Chains A and B, each alone.
Chain A
């Protein structure tokens, strides 16, 4: 089940090259795919097909937001169900996981919030904590059950005086990853700013020092190594979302 991405191993620049390649591949792949289709219509224009697919992906965002029940909980499991070892997955190899000194680290908060003061680890640990054993479902298809604990995100947003009527929360990560959530999901009772995996602080490969755990979204919407978050009304997109993964990707 567990497969590391083999693409990124060499220079710093390679991830960007690969993203560019993917973006082009989306177009070429689509037009090639369209050529193999059995319609009599002219679907050979990759750009046109691309536009239709993007438009339908935005439509699917809306449908999923309408389907989302803010009180419906993701299934929870017991400790015996936890997948061991829990798979590492990122857009880079495990050797390239960022090394972060927890003593220097602070979470920065910006955008539509009243209190923009930074949050060192001790301050986050001072807030009420919650724990969950839930299934992480990867967009690739595999799934794994893990245990995460940390600050319920709703409580955090209330604590910093976030505009809860704003549309989005964006996340920026130490590994250049970025992602975003709709506010309804951000306020879901199982959405937490995870500090621990199992009984211990998050190990580097699972996102030390801070990971967003959202069991109502696919895995790639659970950013690791978060350094900053912001509340906004402009969709911040995301690393994969901007390349073509469906933005909402709710479970």
Chain B
């Protein structure tokens, strides 16, 4: 199963259907989770700032929690499908490995000096690192979220994070990591717009 199988003459398949579907479902679920999460945060801010109302979802605390605990099912169900495909179907191995610090350093310095070529269908080491990191941040966000939702029934999880109050901060940090990733991800799509259509159609013209 090569990443690029011939689709039509002169076109290569870059993103399998399952990756495209889970990507966009995840984008929707994540936006719901983050915006409603910001409204929940605003009810009792951990830090000396709040999120502006226009950037939040739910209208009030009760509405925000309703959104958060509804979208979590979509996020988790979709995430499980993606993780199963990534782990069992070999998507992670094919797309994200190998990954070494030396390669990350090489590609990062190349990127910062504008010498890094973007090849559609192939992730450079910095991209691989970011994708792996955001997946781990996603796992952390879900695990800490479950620990906040059920600090008694899932107290092993709560204890793992160091108790309820520390878990709140872990959940916030996981969210921050994901939001940071999204900002970089969107900035890169703006810089290299030809990466967007294949995420919808799955294919792109061959580059020579």
Name A's B-contacting residues (CB within 8 A): 1, 3, 22, 25-26, 28-30, 32-33, 36-39, 52-54, 56-57, 60, 64, 67-69, 72-75, 135, 137-143, 215-216, 240, 243-246, 250-251
In the complex, B44 has a CB within 8 A of chain A: yes
Q: Report the Cα distance A250→B146, complex, angstroms.
A: 12
A83 to chain B, nearest CB (A): 11
Complex Cα gap A137–B151 (Å): 9
Q: Would you call the interface of chain B mostly helix, strand, loop, or mixed?
A: helix
Q: Are A141 and B43 in contact (CB under 8 A)?
A: yes
Chain A contacts for B163, CB-based, 8 A? 75
Taking the closest CB of chain A, its distance from the CB of B158, in whole angstroms, is 8
B141 contacts A by Cβ under 8 Å: no
Interface residues as binary, B6-36 with A (CB distance below 8 Å gives 1, 0 otherwise)? 0000000000000000000001100110011
The CA-CA distance from A245 to B31 in the complex, in Å, is 21
Contact B61 A26 (CB under 8 A): no
Contact B59 A141 (CB under 8 A): no
**Interface residues of B toward A: which range?**
20 to 34
A30 to B41, CA, bound (A): 18
Minimal beta-carbon separation of B134 from chain A (angstroms): 18
Q: What A residues does B70 contact at CB under 8 A? A: 52-53, 56-57, 60
- Is B63 on the interface with A (CB-CB < 8 A)? yes
Give the Cβ gap from B74 to chain A, nearest Cβ, in Å: 10
Residues of B within 8 A of A (CB): 27-28, 31-32, 35-36, 40-41, 43-44, 46, 57-63, 65-67, 69-70, 73, 150-153, 155, 163-165, 168
Most buried by B among A29, A57, A72: A29
Residue of B nearest to A27 (CB): B59
Which one, B59, B62, B65, B153, contacts A28 given CB within 8 A?
B59
- Closest residue to A215 on the B side, CB-wise? B152
Considering the complex of A and B, which 4 residue pairs feature the smallest CB-CB distances, nearest first? A29-B59, A244-B62, A141-B44, A33-B57
| Residue from B35, B153, B155, B168 having most chain A Cβ neighbours under 10 A | B153
With A33-B35, A72-B153 known as contacts, the answer to whether A26 contacts B44 (CB < 8 A) is no
Chain B: CB-nearest residue to A143? B164
A250 near B150 with CB under 8 A, answer yes
CB distance from A116 to the nearest CB of B (A): 33
| A245/B62 in contact, CB under 8 A | yes
- Nearest chain B CB to A211's CB is how many angstroms away? 19
Q: Which residues of A contact B35 (CB under 8 A)?
A: 33, 36
> How far apart sit A54 and B70, CA to CA, in the bound complex (Å)?
9
Chain A: minimal CB distance from B176 (Å) = 16
With A57-B70, A68-B153, A250-B153 as contacts: A140 and B44 at CB distance below 8 Å? yes
